[in-house]
Structure 1
Amino acid sequence: MAEACRMFHTALTLTLPPSFSQTPSRHSQPIPRRHPIRCSISTTDTAKTSVTQKIPWGCEVDSLENAALLQKWLSDSGLPPQKMGIERVEVGERGLVALKNIRKGEKLLFVPPSLVITADSEWSCTEAGEVLKRNSVPDWPLLATYLIGEASFMQSSRWSNYISALPRQPYSLLYWTRAELDKYLEASQIRERAIERINDVTGTYNDLRLRIFSKHPHLFPEEVFNMETFKWSFGILFSRLVRLPSMDEKIALVPWADMLNHSCEVETFLDYDKSSQGVVFTTDRTYQPSEQVFISYGKKSNGELLLSYGFVPREGTNPNDKVELLLSLKKSDKCYKEKSEAMKKHGLSTSQCFPIQITGWPLELMAYAYLVVSPPSMSQHFEEIAAVASNKTTSKKDIRYPELEEQALQFILDSCEASISKYSKFLQESGSMDLDVTSPKQLNRRVFLKQLAVDLCTSERRILFRTQYILRRRLRDIRSGELRALRIFDGFRKLFK
């Protein structure tokens, strides 16, 4: 299902700078004639985008023919003989499987830099690339535009075989409509991340269109460079782009390597190997012939994997899984103004999400809870607690207020149970959810999306149930301890009467 490599996207800002720096113009070459492309779509409301619209390049996600042509082209272009071949697989639509015995610690792939796409790659339309670089367009939108530009040249582009093997519709939450996100992911905080990402991509495209495309329509015609094609190109980047530490941290698309699928049990990832002068990965286990070979896309939660790659690992198999728990300061709080100011000063919001794993929660979450339940008498500590909650302090990170612990834990438990109720409501209703479609193709899509949402919500609720159990047990211990202390005190009082 997902055919991506290790991604680095965590705090990426997609939008272009408010102003572009100008550099002297360079001589441009004649523009090759483009093949006519028709990809019209509204550029103002991605939520209303029809999911039936198609990109005129790429292939179906399970196409082996296109992948075979890609491998032949790569081999003809300098890719060494491989110990892996492309096949339909159980985990993912297409994947690389071992053709021979593969040892643990063996280096595989050896994709030369000449077959890797980076921001420095040569454009088929040289003038278009020069315009973007002259306007200091960052690497992400530069690569997104490059991919569309090369795709529009069809067979005349050097990368035509690679682009033909890319999925026409990448698995990504970018392809979920707003109505689908609201319907299927209402309980999960990943919905907010998806909406934010869609807005980032939309904003990036609109910024490029306003500042550059509209001023150079002969280079960037709207029938080619539009919201639909940018959604496709960013979907490809989110699911396939890698950072190569040994190539000066360059971000790159690595043809053939991006056919590798993810396993939560694997830790190996792609990098440039200076000795062999190619992009490789070192296996952390043995593989027998016909076994699928995996790499890691990074230590990502199920929600993050769904967000970028469009799949959810089987419940309980992802040791890096987590759920975002929303904590909120009520406006009715007697110290709302003072607490909210302390939060704002340290980059926090009055509604803040914190990651919870099956093994526990971060110190920042506990500090935030302390701040929320703090009485007015502790106002002199508000900023100190907010600093710990934001993880921006260099000292006293593990603060403790025993007198507030019970209240803080109860506050977290209440938030946790409120979140559980949302998940439970969705999961209960999902069995009888009206998919409201008449087309068999649309029905298959909606069933698929719903199943992904059910899988995600089940895994995230599982973590919340575990958190609920720990919190209840801790509160029980605290309260039983208090009761024991009271009984002992009453015993002593009776003794001295």
Structure 2
Amino acid sequence: MAGAGARLSLGRGIASRLRVPPPCRLAHAASASAEITSLKDEDCSGFLHWLQRKAGTQISAVLTLGSSAFGRSLFALEPIKEGDCIMEVPYDVQLTQDKFPVEVRILLDNVVGDTAKVAVLLMMEQHLGHVESGWEPYVKSLPCKGQMHNMMLWDLNELHMVRNSSIYNEAIEQKDQAKKEFSAVKPILEHFPHLFGETNVEDFMLASALVSSRAWWTLRGVSLIPFADFLNHDGFSNSILLYDEQKDVCEVIADRSYAVGEQVMIRYGKFSNATLALNFGFTFSRNVYDQVHIWIDMPEQDLLCREKLDIWERHHSPKAEDMFSCGRTKISFVIKKAKSSRGKGIGVPEILRAFFRVFYSTSLEELEEMTMEAARNDGRLARRPLENTEREIHAHRMLLLHLNDEIQGYSTAIEQLEIANDPASRSVHPFRKEMAKDLLVGELRVLQSASAWVANYCESLSMS
């Protein structure tokens, strides 16, 4: 999921500059060629001055905060060259859980995770307001609920638009998790009414959405990093947020040169539209990182099911990019776009092809032959085609049927979204409807590429 990444360890005595795992933050989808509508944002004109006074040091001399067609953004105030450090945000002005009063931090320990804790911290600063909060200018700069489109904030009718995608269940699970976390922290919030006032689950979900869409993981844990979180996402940028341990700052290095007035971008990560919609609240009309999770029912009524499972568990050996998960009655696979419909380049995952070879075999003899073939190769069931061409074609045609069923479901859902007078969509936010369409169309393209690859594979075997 966005904002969570592997923890990195440092060698002793080394002043390390670490790549911070991709951010989880809200920003409207933008491209490097985005048209600037206004270089100055009057509501935030003093924001950088406030932040630099708070930090006691300069944050950036080359960036200014303004507005674009995609919302608040950062622009080049002076010419920027590739390799320039364009921003340094000290840890002291980052919102992290150690900014809690000690008595609150102690009670929250081991109750919820770091993201939820920072959401609670944000709620506290929002309640304290202008008089007591030291972060009031930052808190005021954050988007309001009407500007947020993370799927955690979608209602069930809106989520129904993406019911064909696995993100539907993930979004519901995310909403349920937020409700559980609020139940866990509510007694603590009620214990400090002067810090939190009256709270409800909707307030907590909004704060959680803000944190999950804006925060980075650093060595200090989940961090809201003012000013840095105005940087919009460009999926093709090579700029990322870095952490300099020696200086205790987060910084951004320009990956290219910028002229005065150009919007400056970074890359949050190589994220699919499903991840962008779930955690960030935007999508791209064409996202090269789109992928599809498909679920396949386990044939429990099959008399050979136990034997097939045994062979499957011993011989699938997936590669890292062929991730899958196994439930009680279903297995999920990840498919990325096949680069060639003629069978060249990346096809459908080997682990998925192995599944269909095993579970669509019809006898113990076939299973035994399959096991011996795997042993003669490298132990995997999909490294090479089955020696029995007829069985190989049968397995892949069953896979093709499954892919085409998925394609039909996606096509129907997209057609439904395009019905202008559909009663079910009248209450749906137009931006969220476009997000749903981007998400479904992108995943449909992936499925179509996989279907074309498998169809060509079967045809090639039939002609050989």
Q: TM-score, normalised by structure 1?
A: 0.73
- Number of paired residues? 403
Per-residue deviation, 1:273:
2.1
| Aligned positions of 1:388-399 closer than 5 A | 396=380, 399=383
Higher alpha-carbon deviation: 255-264 or 449-458: 449-458
| 1:227 partnered with 2:214 | no
Distance in 2 (alpha carbons) for counterparts of 1:208 and 1:341: 44
Residue in structure 2 matching 1:166, options 127, 142, 159 = 142
The residue aligned with 1:75 is 52
Distance 1:11 1:268, change over 3 A: closer
Q: Does 1:177 align with 2:155?
A: yes
State how far apart, in whole Å, the 2-side matches of 1:113 and 1:312 are. 31
Classify the secondary structure of the residue corresponding to 1:77: helix
Written as runs of structure 1 = structure 2, the 5 A alignment for 1:353-432 is: 353-359=332-338, 360-377=347-364, 396=380, 399-400=383-384, 402=386, 403=388, 404-432=391-419
> 2:283 and 2:244 mapped to 1: Cα distance?
31
Superimposed CA distance per residue, residues 394-451 of structure 1 (whole angstroms, 9 cap, x where no aligned partner): 97485445134323322221121111111111222222254549xxxx9685222212
Identity of paired residues, percent? 25
Tell me if 1:209 matches 2:186: yes
Matched residue, 1:47: none
Residue 325 in structure 1 maps to residue 302 in structure 2: no
Structure 1's 384 and 10: CA in aligned 2 closer, same or farther, altered over 3 A? Answer: farther
Alignment equivalent of 2:215, drawn from 211, 218, 241: 241
Which of 445, 452, 463 is matched with 1:462 structurally?
A: 445
C-alpha spacing 1:385/1:219, structure 2 compared with 1 (3 Å) = farther
CA deviation vs aligned residue, 1:111-146 (integer Å, no higher than 9, x gap): 1111112222x22x443233223x564322211211
How big is the shift at 1:186? 1.9
Aligned residues of 1:109 and 1:280 also touching (Cα < 8 A): yes
Partner amino acid, structure 1, of 2:4: H
Shift of 1:456: 1.5
Q: Distance in 2 between matches of 1:173 and 1:362?
A: 28
Q: How far did residue 309 of structure 1 move?
A: 1.0
2:31 is aligned to none
Aligned to 1:299: 270
Whether contact under 8 Å (1:261, 1:294) holds in the other structure is yes
> Would the alpha carbon gap of residues 342 and 396 (structure 1) be closer, same or farther in structure 2, given more than 3 Å must change?
closer
The question of 1:127 aligning with 2:111 is answered: no
- 8 Å Cα contact 1:110/1:277 also seen in 2: no
In the alignment, what sits opposite 2:430? 447
- Structure 2, unmatched stretches of 5+, are 8-38, 317-324, 339-346
Taking a change above 3 Å as real, the CA distance of residues 152 and 371 of structure 1, as seen in their structure-2 partners, is farther
Cα distance in 2 for partners of 1:283, 1:381 equals 56
Name the structure 2 match of 1:352.
331
The equivalent residue for 2:17 is: none
- Paired letter, 2:295: L
Native 8 Å contact 1:107 1:282 kept in 2: yes
CA contact (8 A) 2:3 2:212 kept: no
The one of 437, 442, 459 equivalent to 1:476 is 459
Distance 2:435 2:407 in 1: 18
Counterpart contact for 1:110–1:276, Cα < 8 Å: no
Gaps of 5+ in 1: 1-5, 13-61, 387-393, 482-497
Greater Rg over alpha carbons, structure: 1
Amino acid at match of 2:48: Q
Q: Distance in 2 between matches of 1:113 and 1:70?
A: 17
1:153 maps to 128
Measure, in 2, the Cα distance between the counterparts of 1:190 and 1:10. Answer: 20
Report if aligned partners of 2:312, 2:355 keep a CA contact under 8 Å in 1: no
Partner of 1:489: none
Within 5 A, what are the aligned runs for 1:1-16?
7-9=2-4
Match of 1:282 in 2: 253
- How far residue 275 of structure 1 moved from its aligned partner, in angstroms, is 5.7
The letter of the residue matching 1:199 is D
For residues 133 and 372 of structure 2, what CA distance do their matches in structure 1 show?
58
Matching residue within 113, 120, 134 for 1:138: 113
Query: In the alignment, does 2:73 pair up with 1:95?
Result: yes
Which residue in the other structure is 2:33 paired with? none
* CA–CA separation in structure 1 for the residues paired with 2:182 and 2:252: 34
- Which amino acid in the other structure matches residue 405 of structure 1? E
User: Is the 2:128–2:195 contact (alpha carbons within 8 Å) kept by the matching residues of 1?
Assistant: no
Bigger drift between 408-417 and 327-336 goes to 327-336
1:129–1:146 CA contact under 8 A, matched in 2: no
Instruction: State how far apart, in whole Å, the 2-side matches of 1:110 and 1:423 are.
Output: 45
CA distance in 2, matches of 1:358, 1:192: 22
Q: Distance in 2 between matches of 1:444 and 1:165?
A: 28
Relative to structure 1, the CA distance from residue 118 to residue 325 in structure 2 (aligned partners, 3 Å threshold; closer, same or farther) is same
Task: Quickly say closer, same or farther: Cα 1:242–1:380, change in 2 above 3 A.
Answer: farther
Alpha carbon RMSD of aligned pairs, Å?
Answer: 3.3
Letter matched to residue 234 of structure 1: S
Amino acid at match of 2:257: T
Deviations 1:15-66 (CA, angstroms, capped at 9, x unpaired) = xxxxxxxxxxxxxxxxxxxxxxxxxxxxxxxxxxxxxxxxxxxxxxx99344
Offset of 1:472 from its aligned partner?
0.8
- Secondary structure in structure 2 of the residue aligned to 1:96: strand
Give the match for residue 198 of structure 1.
175
